[in-house]
């Protein structure tokens, strides 16, 4: 019975999620209903990434990592916009808090975990410095342009872009992300493939029929995730407020929830000694989180009311600078030990701790 449930759950869960969404949309849920929707939301997120992995396996690397990163980012973008449209305390900085949290989780949490698992398995985690370095450089540029510069602009009061500046940042982000995707998938694809000696993928690629089915279920799961996240978002905000945590913790909770499946996928790759695949997932998700979220927010700002705070404060800028500096030292050799993994995980732990106790 367990095997049967495991076999059919990737098909059943997205459909159940859509039914639950249709039955509860626009209603005020009791605490028991919020818990059930939350559990179904977590299951649907995992199933969504499962189907993304099926599609990724069919198209191969580095396209596979790109599929996963974009799928997760679509969830994140839609969730941010839906919560901002609902209004409430803290929504002015929700996009900034969520995107920055995603950057810290991916560049330190996921990357550190990948390096740690790889070093524990083979003592030395090996990857292509050219590909990973270009990914880190792109993430650094996007993060500085969209999250640091707004703190120092003078066209608008506070850490905000003017409408023209936001449009420029959106276009620049989308252009830079598109150039990186071209480099990753066409121009220098070999820089993002696992080095020789990494464990190959032994499983047979899915058929065209299985791939198309997974693609359809992936889309259904994404719709369900966005809708259910919208339903539970008031509970997240209320829980953060009841715990006496700052509003920025809402963005951290959202990013942790959305990136949990990505973390699992990267950890699986690291256990197969495919360090490059894990790092592609980590930095690719960070890049997509900024490069796709900011343009989407720029378009959505036409309909959104109220200020949009994107600029980081001094504490977060220090953490970003530390992440970039340590990341460069980690990436340049193309080889990492257990120590580098622990250092990145410690930076991630510091970010989480300071988010709770600033």
301-341 pLDDT tens trace = 777 777 788 999 999 999 999 999 999 999 999 999 999 99
Do residues 175 and 259 make contact, with C-beta atoms less than 8 angstroms apart?
A: no
> Which of 47-56, 62-71, 167-176, 197-206 has the lowest average pLDDT?
197-206
User: What pLDDT shows up at residue 155?
Assistant: 87
pLDDT at 203 over 60: no
Q: Where are the alpha helices (DSSP H) in the chain?
A: 2-24, 31-59, 63-86, 94-104, 111-122, 129-143, 163-182, 208-242, 248-271, 275-300, 314-331, 338-356
For the stretch 9-39, pLDDT in tens is 778 888 887 887 777 776 677 777 778 887 8
CA angle, residues 112, 287, 192, in degrees to nearest 5: 70
For the stretch 47-74, pLDDT in tens is 877 787 787 777 666 676 677 677 777 7
285 SS3 class: helix
Q: Give 145's strand partners.
A: none
Q: How confident is the model at residue 4 (pLDDT cuts 50, 70, 90)?
A: very low
Q: What is the pTM of this model?
A: 0.84
Residue 15 tokens, joined: 């459909």
Longest dimension (CA), the chain: 63
CA-to-CA separations, 172 to 89, 106, 356, in angstroms, rounded: 30, 22, 33
Q: Which domains does the chain have, with CATH numbers?
A: 2-356 (1.20.1420.30)
Could you tell me how far CA 17 lies from the centroid of its own chain? 21
């Amino acid at each position: 019975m367990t095997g049967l449930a495991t076999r059919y759950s990737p098909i059943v869960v997205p459909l159940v999620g859509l039914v639950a969404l249709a039955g509860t949309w626009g209603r005020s849920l009791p605490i028991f209903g919020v818990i059930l929707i939350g559990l179904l939301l977590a299951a649907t997120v995992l199933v969504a990434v499962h189907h993304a992995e099926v599609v990724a396996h069919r198209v191969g690397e580095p396209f596979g990592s790109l599929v996963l990163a974009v799928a997760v980012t679509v969830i994140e973008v839609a969730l941010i916009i839906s919560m901002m449209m609902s209004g409430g305390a803290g929504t002015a900085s929700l996009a900034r808090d969520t995107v920055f949290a995603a950057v810290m989780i991916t560049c330190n949490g996921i990357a550190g975990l990948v390096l740690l698992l790889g070093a524990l398995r083979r003592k030395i985690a090996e990857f292509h410095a050219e590909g990973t370095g270009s990914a880190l450089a792109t993430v650094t540029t996007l993060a500085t342009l969209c999250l640091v510069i707004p703190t120092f602009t003078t066209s608008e009061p506070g850490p905000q872009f003017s409408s023209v500046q936001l449009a420029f940042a959106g276009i620049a982000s989308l252009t830079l992300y598109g150039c990186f995707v071209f480099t990753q998938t066409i121009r220098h694809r070999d820089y993002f493939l696992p080095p020789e000696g990494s464990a190959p993928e032994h499983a047979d690629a899915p058929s065209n029929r299985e791939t198309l089915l997974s693609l359809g279920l992936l889309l259904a799961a994404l719709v369900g995730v966005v809708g259910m996240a919208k339903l539970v978002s008031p509970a997240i905000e209320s829980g953060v407020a009841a715990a006496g945590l700052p509003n920025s913790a809402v963005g951290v909770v959202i990013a942790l929830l959305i990136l949990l499946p990505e973390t699992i996928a990267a950890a699986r790759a690291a256990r197969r000694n495919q360090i490059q695949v894990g790092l592609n997932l980590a930095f690719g998700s960070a890049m997509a989180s900024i490069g796709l979220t900011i343009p989407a927010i720029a378009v959505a700002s036409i309909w959104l009311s109220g200020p949009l705070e994107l600029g980081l404060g001094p504490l977060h800028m220090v953490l970003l600078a530390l992440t970039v500096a340590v990341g460069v030292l980690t990436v340049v050799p193309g080889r990492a030990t257990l120590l580098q993994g622990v250092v990145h995980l410690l930076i991630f732990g510091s970010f989480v701790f300071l988010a709770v106790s600033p």
